[in-house]
């Protein structure tokens, strides 16, 4: 059962989620998404598995969100996904993928439901 975590080592929730996975005996594949953002297709897959719209997975308190006026309601989902790929800091974290499902590790225990 491959488990993938879109991880930011600087984020406490991401570190806690990674530790929780390891406590479960899982050594996930780590993707530091700030260095290696998902492709638009992968991000669409994650969003579908999460049941979220792109804006729901965006970190709205990031400076880039304000600087680029991403709160503009006229931006389409494809526009938002492109911005998330170009500026991966906008993607909420951590995201764990396992068993054909995805979960957001906020709180970290939320990922246990897909294992």
Neighbours of 13 (CB within 10 A): 16
DSSP codes, 4-50: EEEE-TT-HHHHHHHHHHHHTT--PEEEETTTSPPPHHHHHHHHHHH
* Catalytic hit among 3, 4, 11, 75: 11
Q: Is 100 a catalytic site residue?
A: no
pLDDT in tens, 16-33: 999 999 999 999 999 999
Which pTM does this prediction carry? 0.94
pLDDT in tens, 31-75: 999 999 999 999 999 999 999 999 999 999 999 999 999 999 999
Written as six digits, the tokens of 37 are 């953002």
Top CATH class of 3-114 equals alpha beta
Beta-carbon contacts of residue 66 (< 8 Å; ≥ 6 apart)? none
Domain definitions of the chain by residue range: 3-114
């Amino acid at each position: 059962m491959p488990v993938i975590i879109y991880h930011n080592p600087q984020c406490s929730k991401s570190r806690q989620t990674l530790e929780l996975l390891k406590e479960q005996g899982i050594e996930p594949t780590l993707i530091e998404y700030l260095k290696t953002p998902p492709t638009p297709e992968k991000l669409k897959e994650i969003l579908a598995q999460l049941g979220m719209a792109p804006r729901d997975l965006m970190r709205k308190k990031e400076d880039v969100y304000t600087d680029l006026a991403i709160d503009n309601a006229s931006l389409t989902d494809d526009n938002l996904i492109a911005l998330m790929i170009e500026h991966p800091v906008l993607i909420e974290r951590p995201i764990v993928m396992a068993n054909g499902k995805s979960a957001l590790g906020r709180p970290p225990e939320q990922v246990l439901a897909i294992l």
